[in-house]
Homo-oligomer: A and B are copies of this chain.
């Protein structure tokens, strides 16, 4: 078992299926050692988007953090595919962009996206520390509360 897979198990984290989008785009592309991962929305065990709604208007910061973690687990699932099935081939998380479905006036996007950032460091250690932007958007696909995209580096 790879070091990162062992770490996921230790943390009690399960990767979702790395399902392909039903459209003319793909979960990831690679140029050189850089991997671009498509924006991920949070999904529950049944595969449905969850949570739905806006931060600052019904969805709590804690739910938003759980959502951001779910997004990052989907990112890891696609990263594994991008790395040929071996997560130990991920050298670094280079950047995360976190889009938070936000009511006007809500300003805690950083706290919400920490759900993804903390998961990155819990799983990848120092290699999980990344550049980041967190912004508040008006709406997201399927009403998702959060969307996170990533740029990673392969070894």
Our pick among B92, B97, B105, B129 for the contact of A133 (Cβ within 8 Å) is B97
Output the residue of A24, A32, A37, A118 with the most chain B CB within 10 A: A24
Q: Which residues of B contact A128 (CB under 8 A)?
A: 24
**Count of identical protomers in the assembly:** 3
A15 within 8 A of B: no
> How far does the Cβ of A59 sit from chain B's closest Cβ, in whole Å?
13
Q: A118-151: which residues lie under 8 A (CB-CB) from chain B? A: 118, 120-121, 128-144, 147, 149, 151
Q: Which residues of B contact A95 (CB under 8 A)?
A: 29, 36
Is B105's CB under 8 angstroms from A143's CB? Answer: yes
Is B140's CB under 8 angstroms from A24's CB? Answer: no
Q: A135-B147, A136-B138 are in contact. Are A110 and B23 (CB under 8 A)?
A: yes
Is A104's CB under 8 angstroms from B139's CB? Answer: yes
Is B153's CB under 8 angstroms from A31's CB? Answer: yes
A83 within 8 A of B: no
